[in-house]
Amino acid sequence: MEKEPQSQENIFNIKLALFEGPIDLLLYLIKKNEIDIYDIPIAQITEQFLQYIEFMKILAIDIATEYIVMAAYLIHLKSCMLLPANTLNAEELAGDEDPRMPLVRQLLAYKELQKATATIEEMYEQQKLIYFREPEEEDQKPILLEELSVNSLVFSFFEILKKKKQDILHIPADSIRMEDSINDIMSLLKRKKFLRLSELIVSKRIIEIVSLFMAILELIKQKRIKAFQNEEFSDIFIISKRRAKTLRLVKD
């Protein structure tokens, strides 16, 4: 049973700058109303979303196109929920899927991205865990690889995410799991001596980059791989811990 819509005064007791886009706003409304993300009361959420847009108009705030597109989609979704099943077209009835599920998948993907980005930003600020390369031989002096750290890795991904920020609102429904990225990395390391970060992220979507980054952090945490570079701002290398003791990379 859907909750009674809240008054406009209660709905907008928020900072407008808080939201980065319509998906972010929807997640806020879902959390604020303590709604099950898998059972969204579309009528209630649509009304509050439209009120938010109207409030922006009142304050003479430019409304991004994405908000208008989302509003139209919510209105369409609301109408689908109200119509009898036999009046929907074949596409809307495909697989007898709940009409809300595409939106649910997008919300879940965005939540995953938010969580990963928050982790990246936290580690970016902490600047911890400097990694050193181990010597090849016992009598060889340990080589410091330009103070490569998890922070360096975080910084690289942080910059990548900032450049791709405009893609956040177009996250595919088929969210990529970190476990799959872990398997991909370890599979590649069985065939190669090392991996270059620049090669791993080429042509990747933002959700793939986030998944890849979280996988690398997890593998470092599990002590299954090491990450290093020859000098500051150079490419970052990923290598299995087993090979790290025997492989030597020469500076360019």
What are the tens digits of pLDDT across the range 153-179?
Answer: 666 676 666 666 545 445 554 556 788
Q: What is the pLDDT of residue 164?
A: 64
Residues 6+ apart with CB under 8 A from 171: 106, 109, 110, 113, 206, 207
pLDDT at 181 over 70: yes
Six-digit token string for 225: 């791989």
Q: Is 223 found in the same domain as 115?
A: yes
Residue with more model confidence, 190 or 86: 190
Q: Is 197 found in the same domain as 79?
A: no
Q: Is residue 16 part of a domain?
A: yes
Q: Is residue 66 part of a domain?
A: yes
Q: Is 145 found in the same domain as 90?
A: no
Task: Give this prediction's pTM.
Answer: 0.48
Mean pLDDT of the chain: 72
Q: Is 229 found in the same domain as 184?
A: yes
d(CA 75, CA 127): 45
Q: What is the pLDDT of residue 203?
A: 79
Q: What is the pLDDT of residue 39?
A: 92
Q: Is 239 found in the same domain as 160?
A: yes
pLDDT at 183 over 80: yes
Q: Of 32-41, 93-102, 222-231, where does mean pLDDT reach its minimum? A: 93-102
Q: Is residue 20 part of a domain?
A: yes
| Residue 107: pLDDT band with limits 50, 70, 90 | very high
Q: What is the pLDDT of residue 53?
A: 82
Q: Give per-residue pLDDT as tens, 45-92.
A: 999 899 888 876 765 556 778 888 899 999 999 888 877 655 555 555
Q: To the nearest 10°, the Cα dihedral for 225, 205, 164, 56?
A: -130
Q: Give per-residue pLDDT as tens, 211-222.
A: 888 888 888 888
pLDDT-above-70 percentage for the chain: 58
pLDDT at 244 over 70: no
Residue with more model confidence, 204 or 190: 190
Residue span of the structural domain in which 23 resides: 8-99
Q: Is 109 found in the same domain as 14?
A: no
Q: Is 240 found in the same domain as 144?
A: yes
pLDDT at 182 over 70: yes
The Cβ of residue 162 has, within 10 Å, a number of other Cβ atoms equal to 9
Helix, strand, coil percentages (3-state) for the chain, rounded to 5, are: 60, 5, 35
Q: What is the pLDDT of residue 40?
A: 93
Q: Is residue 120 part of a domain?
A: yes
pLDDT at 227 over 60: yes
pLDDT at 102 over 60: yes
d(CA 237, CA 239): 6
Give, as one character, the DSSP assignment of residue 64.
P
Domain stop point among 51, 68, 99 = 99
Q: Is residue 83 part of a domain?
A: yes
d(CA 37, CA 66): 21
Q: Is 236 found in the same domain as 153?
A: yes
Number of domains in the chain: 2
Q: Is 108 found in the same domain as 35?
A: no
Residue 53 contacts residue 63 (beta carbons within 8 Å): yes
Q: What is the pLDDT of residue 10?
A: 43
Q: Give per-residue pLDDT as tens, 113-144.
A: 878 777 776 766 655 444 444 444 444 443 34
Q: Is residue 252 part of a domain?
A: no
